[in-house]
Structure 1
Amino acid sequence: MNVETFLFLQEWNMQLLLILICCSIVYVILSWKKGNFFKSVLFFSSMLILYITIGSPLSALGHISFSTHMIQMSIVYFIIPPLLVRSFPKRSSSTKQFTAKPIRIMTMLALILFAVMFFLYHLPITLQYLAVTPTVRRSYQFLLFLLAVVMWWPIIASEAREYFNKQQKQRYTFISSMIIMPACLLFIIYALFDGASNPLASQAATQWCIPASTTQQNSLLPFSINTKLDQWLAGLSMLGIHKMSLHVSSRMDEKVNKSKSSPRSISL
């Protein structure tokens, strides 16, 4: 079975599509009076990328190899949440009921919890368990996504400056870059020791997305995958995408702040 045939046999996730459509309708209702075109583009872009990544037949490619899996995960947790957070409508002053300290504590806890859960997610023993418990796996992934949205809020949200000064935001960004690194290094360590089998190619894990008639992920590709190199690429890809997303998000927020401080700025 080749990749083209394999993708053709995959189904579109209509339940996810319905959920995303409902979320889009709610977003339009909440932001109708705001009329911010830039935020709307970011929101609908995040919905589209999310559906293509985990709801379309292309999502199956994320379980063919370590590297494609980590690219998929990086898109879901390191690219989509910043876009989504930046698209949130600005709250009115009457809804700002929380002080800065609880907000900072909550976001830091979300960052730590995400880093721990993300690291545990890619341990072979965890993958084996989640592969045979679809309900637990979906709940785990959904919680990871919610935590990702919260942990990106201080970095990219337009309102974060009300709770984080420049030094606190820089410190938070640095901690974020460091605390996610163990999950990236996990795959590089696998490659260095060359003693870990590919959990994504195991019989249990391939049940996530590969039909029962296809027992070997290598049969889907016209070339064999070097597991050691694939693990290197997986760790480096996730690390690079996370660093890039942090850099772009920080620069975007700084650019918006500068434009707002100028007399001829356009509100984003």
Structure 2
Amino acid sequence: MLGLEYFKFEDVWSPVFLAFMLLVTAGYFVLIGPAGGKWAAEERVPAGRKLLFVAGMAMLYLAQGGPVELLGHMMFSFHMLSMALSYLVAPPLLMLGIPPWVWRKVASFLAGSPLRHLRFWVKPVVAAVVFNGLFSFYHIPAVHDYVMLHFGVHRLYYIVLFAASVLLWWTLVNPLPERPGAQGLKKMGFIFLNMVLLTPACGLIIFAKEPLYATYSDPNVWARAMGYCVSGNPEMLLSQFGGPQFFGFLEPGIDQQVGGILMKFIQEFIFASMLAYVFYQWYKQENRGGDDEELAAQLAEAPERSGVGELAEAPGPSGDFGVPKSS
């Protein structure tokens, strides 16, 4: 399917990376279980939280080591799907799957280490600018092709981009409920800022009149890039398939547009859903505050309505207000 049948099992499923991801997942269950000690005993991790973590690991594996990663070297639309899964879907799932007591331990460790000086990067506006800036810079054609052709730079850039996405999602997810974070209008403004910042890069890709990336249009560049994710000689790929067009069911220009639209659609769907949720929570909180004030006013007026005030001010039998008149 989609040309995957032409490649070996290890090329499609990356067994080494799969083993690493399974090892990390097993470590997670050990950490929240026997190795967690009194913290794990006091704060039981519900099944839903565990499911979120496993789902996040599955998304990250598919995007960076599974079939989506390989297809991302042959079609730009799958490359953008891989980016969306890696940085918009997997991070919040993983962060929500990790229990708060683990985050408290991490925060306590960071507070006592030299890394505490990097707290500046967690500020909402800084995190948004850094992540979207790195993402947009990566998709400059010359930068993208260079990164795809240099394996070490490729891995390093992806790790940095993943760390930047975690800093971005920290404001949105807030894994430490006891710590104050952006709420209400500020949080909605932060979401809207991210939706805007990614638009120029996606617009450049969607409205380009010709293919921008040699990785998906030049057979020689494509073969060199494929050499980092499949076994065998890249020259054999050229002789056997001729180029990435062998696998693509779309023309390179259309495939590029589909990739840009797909990335923007996934981002808009996720952030618009969050925007609606945050607005609903903010609206409920504002209305609840108004209801509390109205209830307090009603309670303050209750004695007067019950007639207590009238009895206190009623005149007595010997004169006004119960005071005897002098003769």
Name the TM-score, length of structure 1 as normaliser: 0.80
User: Is 1:174 aligned with 2:199?
Assistant: no
User: Is 1:53 aligned with 2:55?
Assistant: no
Alignment of 1:159-198 (within 5 A): 159=176, 162-191=180-209, 194=210, 196=212, 198=214
Residue matched to 1:266:
none
Which piece of structure 1 moves more, 103-112 or 164-173?
Answer: 103-112
Residue matched to 1:200:
216
Identity %: 23
| Larger RCO of the pair (alpha carbons < 8 Å, separation 6+) | 1
Residue matched to 1:140:
157
From 113, 118, 123, give the equivalent of 2:135. 118
Residue matched to 2:267:
242
Asked if 2 retains the 8 angstrom alpha-carbon contact of 1:71 and 1:237, the reply is yes
Alignment of 1:69-148 (within 5 A): 69-91=79-101, 106-148=123-165
Task: Tell me the distance in 1 between the aligned counterparts of 2:213 and 2:29.
Answer: 47
Q: CA deviation at 1:229?
A: 2.1
Change (3 A) 1:107 1:26: farther
SS of equivalent to 1:64: coil
Q: CA deviation at 1:35?
A: 2.3
The structure with the larger Rg is: 2
Asked if 1 retains the 8 angstrom alpha-carbon contact of 2:80 and 2:262, the reply is yes
Asked if 2 retains the 8 angstrom alpha-carbon contact of 1:70 and 1:234, the reply is yes
RMSD: 3.2
Q: CA deviation at 1:70?
A: 1.0
> Which residue identity is paired with 1:20?
M
Task: Tell me the distance in 1 between the aligned counterparts of 2:154 and 2:275.
Answer: 31
SS of equivalent to 1:63: coil
Task: Tell me the distance in 2 between the aligned counterparts of 1:107 and 1:114.
Answer: 11
Q: CA deviation at 1:52?
A: 2.0
Residue matched to 1:261:
none
Residue matched to 2:237:
214
Residue matched to 1:264:
none
Which piece of structure 1 moves more, 198-207 or 43-52?
Answer: 198-207
Superposed CA deviations along residues 75-133 of structure 1, whole A, max 9, x for unmatched, are 111111121122121138976778xxx67853432221111111111122112221332
Change (3 A) 1:197 1:118: closer
Asked if 2 retains the 8 angstrom alpha-carbon contact of 1:62 and 1:70, the reply is yes
Q: CA deviation at 1:190?
A: 1.8
Change (3 A) 1:83 1:248: farther
Residue matched to 2:21:
20
Asked if 2 retains the 8 angstrom alpha-carbon contact of 1:156 and 1:250, the reply is no
Q: CA deviation at 1:201?
A: 3.2
Superposed CA deviations along residues 136-159 of structure 1, whole A, max 9, x for unmatched, are 110100110111122012223353
Residue matched to 1:3:
3
Task: Tell me the distance in 2 between the aligned counterparts of 1:255 and 1:83.
Answer: 21
Task: Tell me the distance in 2 between the aligned counterparts of 1:93 and 1:55.
Answer: 27
Change (3 A) 1:251 1:172: same
> Which residue identity is paired with 1:36?
P
Asked if 1 retains the 8 angstrom alpha-carbon contact of 2:122 and 2:168, the reply is no
Asked if 2 retains the 8 angstrom alpha-carbon contact of 1:158 and 1:253, the reply is no
Asked if 1 retains the 8 angstrom alpha-carbon contact of 2:120 and 2:126, the reply is no
Change (3 A) 1:91 1:251: farther
> Which residue identity is paired with 2:152?
T
> Which residue identity is paired with 1:201?
S
Residue matched to 1:265:
none
Superposed CA deviations along residues 29-53 of structure 1, whole A, max 9, x for unmatched, are 4433222211100000111121122
Q: CA deviation at 1:18?
A: 3.5
Task: Tell me the distance in 2 between the aligned counterparts of 1:255 and 1:42.
Answer: 23
Change (3 A) 1:73 1:108: same
Change (3 A) 1:233 1:58: closer
Aligned residues: 253
Task: Tell me the distance in 2 between the aligned counterparts of 1:121 and 1:157.
Answer: 27
> Which residue identity is paired with 2:23?
C
